[in-house]
Chains A and B, each alone.
Chain A
Amino acid sequence: MTQTPQTTPTSTEGTGRATSGRVPTRRAVVNRAPWILVSPFLILFLLTFVLPIVVAIGQSFTTVTRAGLFGEEGVTSRFAWFENYRLVLADGNFVDSIWRMLLFGIVQVPVMIVAATLLALLLESASARWPGVFRATYFMPYGIPGVIATILWSFLYVPGLSPIIDVSEALFGYTPDFLGAGTVLWSIANIVTWTYTGYNMLIIVAQLKAIPSELYEAARVDGAGPWRTAVSIQLPLIRPALVLTTVFSIIGTLQLFAEPQLLQTVSPAIDSQYTPNLSAYTTAFAYNDYNLAAAQSVLIALVAFVLSFAFLKLTNRSSR
C-alpha cells in the first residue's frame, strides 16, 4: 500500500492537519486500521470459501490414475481438460437428478412463496386475530434442523406408525403412499415447505411493516378495498423481499440433501443419486472419486448461480 490521495471523508482529518507535523503517523494509522479490522474475516473467508472453490475447480480438471491393482505402483495425476465434466454429464442419473430438482423447484418454490405472501398479508390485515401468536407459530419450524424435521415427518409418512394413514383409512378407506416412487418427491417438498414458509413469511412481514402509512391512507381516500390495496400497493412494494426469498429458495433447492438422505432408509424410491448433492456425496465417499465429485460440486454451484442470475435479470427487466 502506497500513500495514495484519498477521496473520501476519512482523508479530511489528515489533510486538515497537514501543517501540524503529526500527519504521517496519523494517516498511517488510518490507513492501517481497516486492514487490521478486515483481515481476520478476510483470511478465514479466503481459507474456507475461496481456497476450497479454487481447489475444487482444479480437481475437477484433474484425472488421477493409479498404477497397479491398488495403486501400489504410484499415483499420477494429470490435467484432463473437460474429461470429468464429460463423464458427469454422460451419467444419466446425475443429469436426471438436476432435472428432478428443477421440477421440484418449479412447483415447490412458487407454492412456498405464494403461501408465505398470503400468510403475511393475512397477518398484516386488520381481520386477523392474535397475529403475534400465529406469526410465532408459523416461524417455529425454521428453528428445527432439516434432519430433525425429516425424522418428524418420516414418522408421519411410514405405514404402521403414521396416524395420518390410519385416519385416512378409517375415514375414506384410502391408503396414501407417501414414500412411493411417484410421491416421495412431493413428500420431501412438504418437509421443505413446512420448514421455510414461516421464515420467508417473516421477511415479507418485515417489508410490509416498512410501507409508509400515508400510502394506505391515500389508497383509502381513493376508495380502494383490501384486495385492491394488496394488488396495487403491497405487492409492488414487497417486491425486493419476494425476489430475495425466491433467489435463496432456488439456491436451497439445488442443495437439497438431508431430507432425501434420511428418507432413503424408509423409501426404496430414493437412490443414492436422487439429488445432485446426494450424487456428489456418494461419488466422493462411496466411490472415493474426489475429482468426479469436484466436477459435480462445481456444476451444482454453476447451475444455482445461473438460475439465480437469470431470475434476477428476469425480474429486473419486467420491472421497467
Chain B
Amino acid sequence: MTAAVSARTATARPDAPRAAEPDPAHDAGRGRPATTILVTGVLVVVAIYFLVPVYWVVVAATKTTDDLFGTNGFWFGDTFALFDNIGAVLTYDGGIFVRWLGNSVLYAGVGAVLATYLAAAGGYALAKYAFRGRNLIFGLVLGGVLVPGTATALPLFLLFSQLGLANTYASVLVPSLVSPFGFFLCRIYADSTVDQSLIEAARIDGAGELRIFHTIGLRIMTPALVTVLLFQIVGIWNNYFLPLVMLSDQDLYPITLGLNNWNSQTDRLPEFYELTTGGVLLSVIPLAVAMIVLQRFWRGGLTEGAVKA
C-alpha cells in the first residue's frame, strides 16, 4: 500500500500537471494490480453516473417523438432523425435558437471579459496602494461574496424597472460585470505576485500609474485572470434567475431561458420533445468540450484562492 506515497516522491514536483499521476514503473514494481483494478473500477462506475444523462440526450436527439416513447432510451431507435431534428431546432420560429445562443455568447463573453478587467483593476489598486477607505472597500466586497446572487436579483429588477432598464440587454449585462469573488482573488494574487520594487522601478523610469498597471500588473496577474474569466463565463452562462426576472422579450433570452421555454411546452405539444432534446444536445456539446479542455486552467488560480482564503 505504499504505492501511493512512492509515486509522489518519484515525481517530486507538486505543482506540475503530471505530479500526482502514477509512475507505471513503480506501480509494476510494487505489484498491486488488485488495488489498481479495484480503484479504477470504482472510478469507471462513477464516470458512468456522470455520463448517463449526456449519453441519453445524444441517443434521444436521433429519435422521432414516436421512437422517443416507443423504444429503449439507452439505445438508438428504428429511424435516424438526428439531422431532421437539428434542422428543426435551427430553423424553428425563424432561427430563434441561434439567436438565443448568440445572446448567451454575448452576455457571457462581453460580461466576463469586462468583469475580469474591472476586478483586476480594483484588486490591484487595493493590493498595491495604501489609501483611506481601502479596508472599508475590501470588507464591503468580501461581504458581497457571501450574499446569495438570487437575493439581489429581485430588488435589482425593481431598481432597473424604475430606471427603465428592465427587459434590455443591459439588465442582464450590467450585473454580470461585477464579480466580488474575482475582485477578492485578484487582490490576493496581486498582493503576493506583483513586486513593489518593480513598480518603483517603473515609476523612476517615468511610467504613469495606469500604464504600470496595464503593462506590468495585468501581465503578472494573468494566471489569476484566467481563473476569474473562466468562473465568470460559466457563472453568466449558467445564470437563470437573473435573466428570468429581468427579461420578458424572447429575443433577448439566453439559451437557458429559451430551452426552458420549449421544455415547458412539451406536455401540451409533443413535437417540442424533438426540439428540446436537439436543442439541449446542441448547447451541451460545446460546453462539455470546453470544460474538458479548460479544466487544467482551473487548477493554478484556484489553489491560490482556496489556500489563502
A binds B: yes
The verdict on B269 contacting chain A, using a C-beta distance below 8 Å, is: no
Cross-interface CB contact of A161 among B26, B50, B69, B307, cutoff 8 Å: B69
**Contacting pair A308 B200 (CB below 8 A):** no
In the bound complex, what is the Cα–Cα distance between A250 and B7 (angstroms)?
A: 36
The verdict on B88 contacting chain A, using a C-beta distance below 8 Å, is: no
CB distance from B259 to the nearest CB of A (A): 6
Say yes or no: A128-B40 contact (C-beta < 8 A), given A211-B14, A251-B148.
Answer: yes
Chain B residues whose C-beta falls within 8 Å of the C-beta of A144 in the assembled complex = 238, 284, 287-288
**Contacting pair B121 A297 (CB below 8 A):** no
The verdict on A106 contacting chain B, using a C-beta distance below 8 Å, is: no
**Contacting pair A148 B280 (CB below 8 A):** yes
In the bound complex, what is the Cα–Cα distance between A41 and B178 (angstroms)?
A: 7
Residue interface bits B208-222, CB-to-A below 8 A is 1, else 0: 111001000000000
Say yes or no: A146-B240 contact (C-beta < 8 A), given A12-B200, A59-B158, A251-B146.
Answer: yes
Report A255-311 residues with CB < 8 Å from chain B CB: 255, 257-258, 262, 265-266, 277, 280-281, 284-285, 290, 293-294, 297-298, 300-301, 304-305, 308
Say yes or no: A44-B174 contact (C-beta < 8 A), given A140-B291, A209-B303, A225-B2.
Answer: yes
Cross-interface CB contact of A257 among B128, B130, B241, B284, cutoff 8 Å: B241
Number of A-B contacts (CB under 8 A): 354
Interface residues on B, range: 35 or more
**Contacting pair A126 B27 (CB below 8 A):** yes
**Nearest neighbor of B241 in chain A, beta-carbon distance:** A257
Residue interface bits A112-147, CB-to-B below 8 A is 1, else 0: 000000010011111111111011111111111111
CB distance from B34 to the nearest CB of A (A): 9
Cross-interface CB contact of A206 among B68, B125, B259, B299, cutoff 8 Å: B299
The verdict on A244 contacting chain B, using a C-beta distance below 8 Å, is: yes
Say yes or no: A240-B130 contact (C-beta < 8 A), given A9-B196, A153-B53.
Answer: no
**Contacting pair A209 B53 (CB below 8 A):** no
**Contacting pair B53 A41 (CB below 8 A):** no
Chain B residues whose C-beta falls within 8 Å of the C-beta of A304 in the assembled complex = 146, 148, 151
Chain B residues whose C-beta falls within 8 Å of the C-beta of A40 in the assembled complex = 118, 121-122
**Nearest neighbor of A309 in chain B, beta-carbon distance:** B146
In the bound complex, what is the Cα–Cα distance between A9 and B154 (angstroms)?
A: 43
The verdict on A177 contacting chain B, using a C-beta distance below 8 Å, is: no
**Contacting pair A265 B264 (CB below 8 A):** yes
The verdict on A8 contacting chain B, using a C-beta distance below 8 Å, is: yes
Report B3-36 residues with CB < 8 Å from chain A CB: 3-9, 12-15, 19-23, 26-27, 32, 35-36
**Nearest neighbor of A36 in chain B, beta-carbon distance:** B210
- How many residues in A have their beta carbons less than 8 Å from beta carbons of B? 124
Chain B residues whose C-beta falls within 8 Å of the C-beta of A247 in the assembled complex = 146
In the bound complex, what is the Cα–Cα distance between A196 and B276 (angstroms)?
A: 23
**Contacting pair A44 B292 (CB below 8 A):** no
**Contacting pair A38 B126 (CB below 8 A):** yes
The verdict on B278 contacting chain A, using a C-beta distance below 8 Å, is: no
The verdict on B124 contacting chain A, using a C-beta distance below 8 Å, is: yes
**Contacting pair B125 A33 (CB below 8 A):** yes
Chain B residues whose C-beta falls within 8 Å of the C-beta of A4 in the assembled complex = 132
Tell which of A86-94, A179-187, A212-220 binds the partner.
A212-220
CB distance from B210 to the nearest CB of A (A): 7
Say yes or no: A202-B298 contact (C-beta < 8 A), given A1-B132, A207-B303.
Answer: yes
Say yes or no: A30-B129 contact (C-beta < 8 A), given A137-B50, A166-B72, A265-B267.
Answer: yes
- A sample of 22 inter-chain contacts (CB < 8 A) reads A1-B131, A4-B132, A33-B210, A38-B137, A44-B177, A45-B141, A48-B174, A48-B175, A123-B20, A127-B3, A136-B291, A140-B292, A143-B238, A147-B256, A151-B276, A207-B303, A224-B5, A226-B5, A251-B148, A255-B149, A257-B240, A301-B148
Chain B positions near chain A (C-beta within 8 angstroms): 1-9, 12-15, 19-23, 26-27, 32, 35-36, 38-40, 42-43, 46-47, 49-54, 56-57, 60, 68-69, 72-74, 118-119, 121-122, 124-126, 128-132, 134, 137, 140-141, 144, 146-152, 154-156, 158-159, 174-175, 177-178, 180, 183, 196, 200, 203-204, 208-210, 213, 234, 237-241, 245, 255-257, 259-260, 263-264, 267, 276-277, 280, 283-284, 287-288, 290-292, 295, 298-299, 302-303, 306-307, 309
